[in-house]
Structure 1
Amino acid sequence: MEQQIDLSDFLTNYFEAKHCTILSKDEGQIHIQLTEEMDKELMNRPFYWHYIKKIGREGEPQVLRLITDQEKASEPGEWIHFGSPRLHQIINKLREKERYTRLFEQIRTLENTPLYPWLVVNVKISYRGVQHKDEVFSIGLQLLHGHMTLNMMDFLEDMPLERSISDYCYTLTPMIHPKSGFLRIQNVLLQHVQKQDNAWAAASIKQLETEKVTLKHFYEGEMDHPRYLEELDALEKRFKPTISFQVINGGIFYLTHRQMDQ
């Protein structure tokens, strides 16, 4: 499977879609001027905005500097990575407000132009055990011929998209039902997971068994003690290896054929 979505590109697309200004984007860092709306959504300053509105003044949205390169994590700014609270916050906001969308490529034409239906899904895969790891993938499936693109955000990044269709354009009827298309995408992700090195899972199981032996020794003769059962359950949740899939958002995108030529 191709490389997972680049975090810097994901963040840039997210903030630009929210009408924030990207002040700079150097290697390993993104400097963002937030809008008032995004400041309220992400920066947790309700008292500031309440006070500003009360005295009738214009507020000053904050500037956010995100560090995506771990080697620069000690520099001024906020280190953001797969699994970090800030990224979870952004993903959760996407899930809450923009779980599903329907967009059309905008073109200027005087001829009847067909738009091809694409199912686009952004998915997070989480690996949990002794160590935690997250991956984010952006996959597009054309619902007419079944062509699949595993880095869909790269194609959509500079494409003009709106909620209304352009003049003289019309949509083609999908040959593949979105539900069936999603199952195809799901199978690709499952194949990706099955190809991963499972050493992390083996290490998690080994650590779990070690912790259980220690716990049993501590509660010897009291295996039915409520505290023992509670701690045993906590160990299972902490160390038992699990893999979960979370749909961040998705939708149907209608695009011209030329945009997706390989």
Structure 2
Amino acid sequence: MAINSLHGFLQSYFTAHNCELMHNEDGVLTVQLTEKMDRALMNRPFYWHYIKNMGHPGQPKQLTLITDPEKRDGKHEWIHYGSPRLHQIINHLNEREKYAKLFDQVDTNQKTALYPWLVSNIKISYRGKQKKDEMISIGLHLVNGIMKLEMMEELQHKVLQNAIPDYCYTISPMIKLHSGFKRIEKVLQSYIQDQDHDWAEASRKTMEEEIDLVRHFYKEGSNEHEMEKEIEEIKKRYSPHITFEVINGGIFYLQD
């Protein structure tokens, strides 16, 4: 992903959690945290315990994050793919806010319709001789059935919020959630079927070779229980299989 995508992700993340954007330009983002977000990100449990016992409201911190390495200044926090802070934010989303209901931030004084999208970020895990994970983001328009891949990339360019904006109204979905997930599942299955599966054949071949070696090592009738145990472990290790896992997602009401 480009730096702009990371910046957009952070902007949407903090806006969706009701944090005020104090300074927002390419590569630098300063946010005023809410108490809830301060507790989630700033690791100050003793401060909040003390201040609440004193009967005071407390003062959430401001946080400045730099996404452009050329703008690092030594005073503020540089955030990048692989940084502890980004992992903390992603874990926060995964653990506490796996499913969200968000609205497009629309500045209008006219009645504006927002359309429901079912968005799912899905991890495809390939397991066998080698292991590989792949992330796919799919959006399904719950009114007209249009489906988009790389949906999260498109959402990076939008600002999302928890409450519906003034003058906006939502369109009721024509496609039910259960049916929507089934459609996404079919797309994933078709995607998997179209892949090159040489890796699976290589895994099976290695599995068979390993099993033959074990059977050769254990002569017939010699500790058959141990032999079967080792064979079972080999099958677990090399037997090729593919799994899906929904990492997060939700219903996003977007301007058409």
Q: What's the TM-score, normalizing by structure 2?
A: 0.70
Distance, in Å, in 2 between the alignment partners of 1:229 and 1:22 is 62
Residue of structure 1 equivalent to 2:222: 222
Residue of structure 1 equivalent to 2:152: 153
Residue of structure 2 equivalent to 1:75: none
Check 1:132–1:164 CA distance in 2 against 1; reply closer, same or farther (3 A cut). same
Distance, in Å, in 1 between the alignment partners of 2:227 and 2:235 is 12
Residue of structure 1 equivalent to 2:56: none
Correspondence 1:1-262 to 2 at 5 A: 6=1, 17=13, 37-38=40-41, 93-220=92-219, 221-222=221-222, 224-225=224-225, 227-257=226-256
Percent same amino acid at aligned positions? 44
Distance, in Å, in 2 between the alignment partners of 1:233 and 1:165 is 54
Check 1:127–1:160 CA distance in 2 against 1; reply closer, same or farther (3 A cut). same
SS, match of residue 190 in structure 1: helix
1:110-157 CA-partner distances (Å, limit 9, x unpaired): 211111011001001011111111110111111000111111112210
SS, match of residue 190 in structure 2: helix
Instruction: Check conservation: 1:12, 1:22, Cα contact below 8 A.
Output: no
Q: How many residues align?
A: 221
Distance, in Å, in 1 between the alignment partners of 2:24 and 2:127 is 33
For structure 1, which runs of at least 5 residues remain unmatched after alignment? 1-5, 26-34, 41-48, 66-77, 81-85, 258-262
Instruction: Check conservation: 1:216, 1:223, Cα contact below 8 A.
Output: no
Displacement after TM superposition at 1:93 (Å) = 5.0
Distance, in Å, in 1 between the alignment partners of 2:92 and 2:125 is 18
For structure 2, which runs of at least 5 residues remain unmatched after alignment? 28-37, 52-60, 68-79
Q: What's the TM-score, normalizing by structure 1?
A: 0.68
Check 1:50–1:165 CA distance in 2 against 1; reply closer, same or farther (3 A cut). closer
Question: Over aligned residues, Cα RMSD in angstroms?
Answer: 4.1
Instruction: Check conservation: 2:41, 2:89, Cα contact below 8 A.
Output: no
